[in-house]
Structure 1
Amino acid sequence: MAGHSEHPHTQAHDEHDNHTDHGPEGHEGHEDHEHGGHSHGGHGHGHGGHGHSHGVAADADRRWLTSALTLIVVFMAAEVVVGFAAGSLALISDAAHMLTDAASIVLALVAMRLAAKPARGGYTYGLKRAEILSAQANGVTLLVLSAWLGYEAIGRLISPPQVEGGLVLVTALVGVVVNIAAAWCMSKANRSSLNVEGAFQHVLTDLYAFIATAIAGAIMLTTGFLRADAIASLIVVALMLRAGIGLVRDSGRIFLEAAPAGIDPDALADRLVTTPLVEEIHDLHVWEITSGQSALSAHILVTPSGDCHAVRRDLQRRLREEYRITHATLQVDHLGEDDDQQLLQITDAATATAAEHCADSHGPVHRAGPHAH
């Protein structure tokens, strides 16, 4: 690829949706970005005309979350009073969990506001991962709280205190209604966001907990079996552990920049390398910027006579349509041209190694046909 030189990428901020491709067809090797239908080349910007779609508007998300927060805080205050009056650990644990519900929604609202801030300065992705921090905080809180409540519940199983079953039953039934209303409000928000999903899981877990507490109240009222209160608390603990582990696991994958769930990078590369004119793909990385927003980068080698621009557009289209990856950075080069500039050379597949392409290949080399990963 004669006469090729590196061009720094400059991010431009456009207020409209459609641009023509300003990059000259003669420029073969460069990096291109496509984010939400926006393709940024080394010489210009090609915007495909499809805007961003995130399901629910941020303002609508905030309204629904605020409605749920109001319901939870008002009921939580009443439940604390009734829980101590009835001597019920199940009610107190439900109230404690509702406190984490309220905290999780507040965190979600703050994180949403931070994530909406535009990218600037050193934060080139903006503060989108504030949502993941919020989700991880929610998960850790659930795990810590479940450990404390589990300890208390085991103690009550061994030596059950006197509990007013009637108060427990009535309060738990009201709690079921309140949590159904709060869960309904939150289901209207954009649950594809791990941040919103974390807060929703808090409320949903609390709903199940109130159902268990209501059953325990009915048992204590009709049979006098006081250990039912501690058993209900242990059911709450199990639900909290399940939700907390899921949130910590999912947020941890994003922080560790693992491939998005459901995407196998090797299988993805093997599919892309079958694209016409593509000879090799290496240095492929795929990760999530935040929940529901995947990104990919890769080095693509095409045949010497191939049109790099056409190949890049075809690959980005496939990534968008087949994998919903709309932020793709692809460095596209020709094979075997201009040895003086030390362009990457393709070698025989049987003898090629990652070291022939770069000092640190960051993953396997993908070519058409069977190959090792």
Structure 2
Amino acid sequence: MGQEHAGHSHDHTAGANAKMLGWALALTFTYLVAEVVGGLVFNSLALLSDAAHMLTDVAALVIALMAIKLGQKAPDEKRTYGYRRFEILAAAFNSVLLFVIAIYVFVEAIKRFANPEPIQSWGMLAVASVGLVVNLISMRLLSAGKDKSFNVKGAYLEVWADMIGSVGVIIGALIIRYTGWTWVDAVVAVGIGLWVLPRTWVLLRDTTNVLLQGVPAGLALSELRSSVVAVPGVEGVHDLHVWSISNDDVSCTMHISLRAQESASEVRRNVERLLREKFAIVHATIQTEQAGEPCELTGSGAHV
């Protein structure tokens, strides 16, 4: 009965998060379209650069929604790990797209430094002010679930960062309005690009590592190996692999050689406990064998 209640509660939490994410996505996407149109109409590169950053917000919200929806879909005969890797594919596509947009903004900014163009500062200010309000509303919508879900928290941080971009565009518009320095628009655009690109690079690096089934960030394979070898009864470790399906779902496989006269089941349980308690790895496949004997002839497997 207790398990049923816990699962039911989890469904309610996921449903509430999905609803808030949906509202935030609708607001953010609507403003993204308005900002692109405003940037073109008012000739503001800063608005277009901020729109590129707003695109990361839309992508983060879509990814968060995908994680909730696809995360509830059970594995099947064709996809035994389920569908959670769609989240990583979407994030990787998003980061590549952002790099392309950033290159465009930087090239256009160089042109405008050399040949400044007239800018309608009041229109630029109005669009950026609306963006600030949209960001504040989205942050309010997401604040309730940010401490209960890593996906919601990631989306919340994206919206928070974009709020900084909106403030930058507002300041730039005011400077242009009262000084006539149109080159400030290009400076703000480059500044927003430099603010977004490092975070975009981190996102691309981490998603590529997941797609290549690399060792998850924050986990040292040498430390894991030495910790397993230190377990009583373990002679050695080989064929050790650690990877993740998504950013928070780590899996591990290994072969361990046993010392003479050691109980395979007991040693295996101790290794499982170590992985779970020290490295937060709960999905592990461990094969045991006697030291010096071919593992393909004397092995037994266990799934955690």
Structure-1 residue corresponding to 2:233: 277
Q: What SS does the corresponding residue of 2:244 show, helix, strand or coil?
A: strand
1:139–1:246: 8 Å Cα contact kept in structure 2?
no
Identity of counterpart residues, as a percentage?
36
Q: State the 1:94 CA deviation.
A: 2.6
Give the number of equivalent residue pairs: 293
Residue 195 of structure 2: aligned partner: 239
Is the 1:94–1:206 contact (alpha carbons within 8 Å) kept by the matching residues of 2? yes
Alpha-carbon shift at residue 327 of structure 1 (Å)? 0.4
- TM-score, normalised to structure 2, is 0.84
Match for 1:163 among 119, 137, 153? 119
Please say if 1:293 is aligned against 2:293.
Answer: no
Query: Which is richer in helix?
Result: 2
Q: Check the 8 A contact 1:173/1:210 in 2, yes or no.
A: yes
C-alpha contact (below 8 Å) 2:49/2:193 kept by paired residues: no
User: Match of 2:28?
Assistant: 72
Q: CA deviation at 1:120?
A: 1.3
Deviation digits for residues 276-335 of structure 1, max 9, x if unmatched? 111111111111121111111111122232221111111111111111000011012234
Please name the residue that 1:349 is paired with.
none
Give the superposition deviation at 1:112. 4.1
CA separation of 1:260 and 1:96: change in aligned 2, threshold 3 A: closer
Match in the other structure for 2:285 = 329
The alpha-carbon deviation at position 218 of structure 1 amounts to 1.4
Instruction: Please identify, of 319-328 and 80-89, the stretch whose mean Cα deviation from structure 2 is larger.
Output: 80-89
Aligned-pair RMSD on alpha carbons?
A: 3.2
- Relative to the length of structure 1, the TM-score reads 0.69
| CA distance in structure 2 between the partners assigned to 1:171 and 1:108 by the alignment | 26
Which whole-Å CA distance do the structure 2 matches of 1:79 and 1:93 have between them? Answer: 10
Q: Give the Cα separation in 2 of the matches to 1:73 and 1:127.
A: 25
Match of 2:150 in 1: 192
Query: The residue matched to 1:295 in structure 2 has which SS?
Result: strand
Residue aligning to 2:92: 136
Q: 1:96 to 1:336 in 2, by over 3 A?
A: closer
Q: Deviations over 1:59-118 (max 9, x none)?
A: 233223212112213333443454344332222333354355335533543454334321
1:88-99 to 2 correspondence within 5 Å?
Answer: 88-99=44-55
CA distance in 2 between counterparts of 1:119 and 1:191 reads 22
Q: Secondary structure at the match of 1:282?
A: strand
- Aligned equivalents of 2:108 and 2:158: distance in 1? 20
- Look up the equivalent residue of 2:54 and give its one-letter code: M
Within-5 A mapping of 1:102-181:
102-110=58-66, 112-181=68-137
1:209 paired with 2:209, answer: no
Distance 1:143 1:203, change over 3 A: farther
Query: Given that residues 89 and 207 in structure 2 are in contact (C-alpha distance below 8 angstroms), is that contact kept between their aligned partners in structure 1?
Result: yes
* Residue aligning to 2:174: 218
Higher radius of gyration, 1 or 2: 1
Structure 1 stretch displaced more, 67-76 or 271-280: 67-76
Q: Distance in 2 between matches of 1:269 and 1:87?
A: 58
Alignment partner of 1:317 out of 273, 286, 302: 273
Query: Which residue of structure 1 lines up, in the alignment, with residue 302 of structure 2?
Result: none
User: Secondary structure of the residue that 1:290 maps to in structure 2?
Assistant: coil
Alignment correspondent of 1:307:
263
What are the ranges of 5 or more consecutive residues in structure 2 without an aligned counterpart? 300-304
Distance in 1 between residues matched to 2:248 and 2:63, nearest whole Å: 19
Q: 1:336 to 1:248 in 2, by over 3 A?
A: closer
CA distance in 1: counterparts of 2:94 and 2:271, whole angstroms: 38
User: Structure 1 312/184 Cα, relative in aligned 2: closer, same or farther at 3 Å?
Assistant: farther
Are the counterparts in 1 of residues 237 and 255 from structure 2 also a CA contact under 8 Å? Answer: yes
Change (3 A) 1:149 1:202: farther
What amino acid is aligned across from residue 259 of structure 1 in structure 2? V
Query: Match of 1:325, SS?
Result: coil
Rounded Cα–Cα distance in structure 1 between residues aligned with 2:81 and 2:19 = 25
> Would the aligned equivalents of 1:115 and 1:129 in 2 still touch at CA under 8 Å?
no
Gaps of 5+ in 1: 1-14, 18-49, 345-373
Partner of residue 22, structure 1: none
Question: What's the secondary structure of 2:251's corresponding residue?
Answer: strand
Does structure 2 retain, via aligned residues, the 8 Å contact 1:108–1:134? no
Partner of 2:186: 230
**Counterpart contact for 2:125–2:170, Cα < 8 Å:** yes
Deviation of 1:229 after TM superposition, in Å, equals 0.6
**Contact in 2 for aligned 1:205/1:243 (Cα 8 Å):** no
Distance 1:277 1:76 in 2: 60
